[in-house]
Every structure is written in structure tokens, then in C-alpha cells.
Amino acid sequence: MVLMGISPVISPDLLDALYRMGHGDEIVLADAHFPGESMGVRVVRADGLKIPQLLEGILELFPLDEYVENPLSMMDAVKGDTLDPAVTESYMAAIKKSNPKALDPARIERFQFYEVAKKAYCVVMTGETAKYGNIILKKGVVPIKQ
């Protein structure tokens, strides 16, 4: 499916989920290792796609929540592990194309991240293989043009 103004990385199922989300709802863009199917929420498959591609496509369709401290969250490294700053940098480059003032994502402890994901509107399972590559977006209010 290809529509004008909608990135071809946005599948019909993902478009449906984005449309049905309300402001303040969260969507998890999960790496290929994430236990998305066991979160108990709607799962949308985006196999083979990397998260920066999806960030660009999704954030053309809705704004991030401006009424919270940070509408972006990522899983923090577990004790003894390290984060690859290139992952955050690539995500932020994609995010800043539509949200130039966006702050780096808040970091959430692994099991707390899972609890937040269980309350998300949906989990998008991607082909992302970057370690700690999961990110949560909080949808803002979509302006209506009169």
C-alpha cells in the first residue's frame, strides 16, 4: 500500500494503530529481541525495518506529547553493561527531522521499561538489532486544521 504523504514503511496495521491512539497513549518501537508478544498488548509486525526508518515515518503523522517532561523513553543498560551512544544518536537524528527541539530519551531500568510497555497502546516488533534499541513514544495532541 502506498499513499501520498505516508511513508511506505507505515504498514496498514501500523497506520490503523497510529490512527486509533489517543493523545497520551504510548507506542513501543521494539528491537528484534524484545518480548513483545508477552506484553499482553496489541502487537504490530514491522520485521526487517530499522527503528530510525519507523521514527521518521511515524513522527510525520503525529506530534510528541508536549505536556510531559519527556515523551521519549529508552531502556537503560543493566549493571555491568554499556550503552552504544550511536543508537541514541541515530534515533535522535530521525526524531529531530520532525521534532527539532526533542530532548534525548529518558532512560528507564529494564524491568520498569517492561511494565511501561505492558500499558502501551501497542508494541511494534521491528528488525532492529541494536542492543538496548527499544524506544517508547508518547503521542501528543494532533492539531486540527480549520
Alpha-helical regions (H) of 1-129 = 12-20, 51-58, 85-95, 110-118
The Cα–Cα gap between 105 and 75 comes to: 9
Q: 9, 23, 32, 114: which is the annotated catalytic residue?
A: 23
**33 among known catalytic residues:** no
Place of cell 549493571: 79
> C-alpha angle with apex 124: 73 to 71, nearest 5 degrees?
25
Q: By the 8 A CB rule, do 30 and 132 touch?
A: no
Alpha-carbon dihedral angle through residues 11, 14, 19, 25, given to the nearest 10 degrees:
-160
Grid coordinates representing 7?
Answer: 511513508
The Cα–Cα gap between 125 and 81 comes to: 23
| Catalytic center residues | 23
